[in-house]
């Protein structure tokens, strides 16, 4: 009829460790990206920026606007 002795310190540490593991897993799901995913996203971003720059008009309709200031004439 003797009760099993429980080390409360060990129990507390195990509970905290499980909580930290759960939080780490949630953070990995939320923020984690592999190196290949990051490089793919960077490559897609650079391609879309270059496509946008390639479609940009030179001069355009802002050439005749009076509110634009030419940097060479600005004082």
The answer for 59, left when phi > 0, alpha when psi is -120 to 50, beta otherwise, is left
d(CA 13, CA 8): 9
| Residue 1 or residue 62, greater confidence | 1
Q: What is the pLDDT of residue 66?
A: 61
If pLDDT is split at 50, 70 and 90, which confidence band does 67 have?
low
| Residue 54 or residue 70, greater confidence | 54
Is the Cβ–Cβ distance between 62 and 68 less than 8 Å?
yes
Q: pLDDT tens digit string along 5-27? A: 889 999 999 999 999 999 999 99
**Alpha helices (runs of H) in the chain, residue ranges in sequence order:** 8-31, 35-54
d(CA 55, CA 60): 12
If pLDDT is split at 50, 70 and 90, which confidence band does 31 have?
confident
Unique residue bearing structure tokens 């990051």: 38
Q: What is the mean pLDDT of residues 27-40?
A: 88
Name the pTM for this structure: 0.42
């Amino acid at each position: 009829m003797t009760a099993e002795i429980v080390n409360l310190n060990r129990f507390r540490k195990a509970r905290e460790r499980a909580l930290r593991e759960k939080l780490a897993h949630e953070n990995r799901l939320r923020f984690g990206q592999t190196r290949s995913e990051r490089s793919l996203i960077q490559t897609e971003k650079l391609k879309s920026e270059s496509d946008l720059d390639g479609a940009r008009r030179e001069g355009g309709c802002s050439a005749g606007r009076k509110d634009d200031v030419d940097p060479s004439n600005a004082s």
